[in-house]
Chains A and B, each alone.
Chain A
Amino acid sequence: MEASITFKKVGQLVNGKTVLAGLSFGIERNSTVAIIGDNEDSGITEFLRIIAGLVPPQYGSLFINGLDSIKRNLDIRKYLGYVPFQNDMDPWLTAEQNIKFINGLYRNEIESTDSNYAEYVDALDVKEKIKKPVNQLSPGVLRKLTLLRELLRNPEILVIDHPTAFMNAKDKVLTLELLKSLKGKKTIIYSSSSLNTIENFHDRILVFHNGGINLDDKVENMLNNWIGKYQYSIKFEKLMATVVREVEQIPDVLSLQKENNTLIFNCEKRSVFLEVLSKLAGVTIIDIKFKKFNLKDLLAARFSEERIV
């Protein structure tokens, strides 16, 4: 698939400290990339700011749709929409005036009667709020309105620093539904501290750690590569050593552990469990527990000795 964004050995220092180091990778056009990491040290905010064009990369090069981000600085702006973590709207204007002003700078005249305007306003449920002065709106509503401001320009690439931060449950749902409706139509790059959001909305997850990308894949692939998809815990009346040996023989059984009379193992497919059961004929089983691994388990296993989330 064609790359929308290409990093070539991008490095960045902030206050003398390396926050990004030697990043080289591409982001495919119209893909959804979720980013997670340690908010303080991982360099995510700087990473997003570099893509958005707020700061130039100090080392290496960044290409947006094949254009060098420094040499073709003004040309790449039209492709990008950026929703910063902090609200940056002018407090003396209404939200609608803010949206119209910023879009005006892009020569994009917004009319309330425009079809996409009405569509997005309805989707985000901001019809009443949009007419209010910015200083009377809650941070969560302002995030929805900032997203609206960027969407109305119809940018190819949408960079969002924590899309649902400060939002109540209803607003979170509306925002994510809207973003999901754009999946496959735009390149969406977003950071989030909500593992649930990331797990359900991505084509690819980048796990940042100490200025580098520690993991980079779909959650399913990452689980398969690192801890498996499922975990079974079988409690026996008395766990015999022969049973353990037999289960160990099954090639698809991962991370086999014995705790008292309980046998714990991970696997990629549920059929492995049936295979295990077939080896347990004549043994009394007291309890069976099943768990489907998620991103949280993966990160906990991967960074058990380091703070990552």
Chain B
Amino acid sequence: MIKAILTRRVWIIKNRLFSTLGLLFLLPVFLHTIINLPLKRMVVNPLWNISHEQWIFPGLVIIVAFVMMMPIIYRDFFDLRLHKKLLPSLALAPISKTKFLYSFLVAVIIESAVYIVVIIWIFSLIMFPQLSVLNYLIMFPFILLFIGIGANIFVTLSLLIDRTTLFSILMLTFFIFIIFGSGLIVEFEFFPALIGDILRYLPTGQIMQSLRMAIFSSTYNWPIIGLSILSIIVWAYINGILFAKKVYK
């Protein structure tokens, strides 16, 4: 089944090659210009003596990977569902809907992994973060964990909401939260203590902190890594049940 889902993704990218590649290549340049360059001038004393480029690099990669992932889930679980496309056929296929959702998530993560490689390459060319190859390799699975959690949240919202306006507002709110409230570009120390503590302990915040600990101090927070993987699996299972309820509605 995963082969069929992956092949379909390849076809969609092929059919919309120009817009996909355009977004993939231009978005890093755009984010570098409007986020990285001004922030670099604002941050006078970097935290823990880590250069601004190095600190912000994983966050920018995640933002672009997130933007690339959003339309995939939006289309398949919200747009097509609302317009009664594809899902009736999926509902009738002799596969469990939970299994379908797992396969779909794996396909999203594989596709995101390819994007992440390209995004890292582009950012490293324009930002010169002076990170080692090992840093990039460590960064990679953490970003995938972040994408896995984010994809599950997106799937849940896409399945629960049936109104386009409400969905758009929630997506925008969620996206703003991901950018500013997950430690991608704003460190939790800059928030008021209570809010910073709350954000720090959210799954997205935990993954970002673990990522930076792994890169900058070679400390691996295995419980958080394990818990994140478990969360992705359990959440995807719940999404599978939700998906089955929606497709047979």
Contact = CB atoms under 8 A, between A and B. Distances in A.
B114 interface: no
Given A54-B92, A77-B93, A77-B94, A90 B3 contact: no
22 contacts: A53-B92, A54-B92, A74-B96, A82-B88, A88-B84, A88-B87, A90-B85, A90-B86, A91-B85, A93-B12, A93-B15, A94-B11, A94-B15, A101-B4, A101-B7, A101-B8, A101-B11, A102-B89, A104-B4, A104-B7, A104-B8, A105-B90
Nearest to B89: A102
A56 interface: yes
Interface of A: 52-56, 74-75, 77-78, 80, 82, 84, 86-94, 97, 100-102, 104-106, 133, 149
Interface in B126-149: none
Interface string B1-32: 10110011001100110000000000000000
B106 interface: no
B interface, size bucket: 20 to 34
Nearest to B87: A88
B79 to A, nearest CB: 9
B125 interface: no
Contact of A74 (B8, B75, B94): B94
A133 to B, nearest CB: 7
B179 interface: no
A167 B3 CA distance: 34
Given A90-B80, A101-B4, A80 B92 contact: yes
A86 B82 CA distance: 13
A91 B8 CA distance: 12
Contacts of B15: 92-94, 97, 133
Contacts of A106: 93-94
A105 B85 CA distance: 16
B95 interface: yes
Nearest to B4: A104
B248 interface: yes
A52 B12 contact: no
A16 B94 CA distance: 30
Given A88-B88, A89-B86, A90-B86, A102 B93 contact: yes
Given A84-B88, A97-B11, A105 B93 contact: yes
B8 A52 contact: no
Contacts of B88: 54, 82, 84, 88
Contacts of A78: 94
Contacts of A133: 15
B197 to A, nearest CB: 43
A24 B87 CA distance: 30
Given A54-B248, A55-B248, A88-B87, A97 B93 contact: no
A132 B248 CA distance: 30
Contact of B94 (A52, A75, A82, A91): A75
B91 interface: yes
Contacts of A86: 84
A76 to B, nearest CB: 8
Nearest to A91: B85
Most buried by B among A86, A92, A106: A92
Given A89-B85, A94-B15, A105 B7 contact: no
Nearest to A87: B85
A155 to B, nearest CB: 10
Most buried by B among A88, A104, A133: A88
A106 B7 CA distance: 14
A82 B91 CA distance: 11
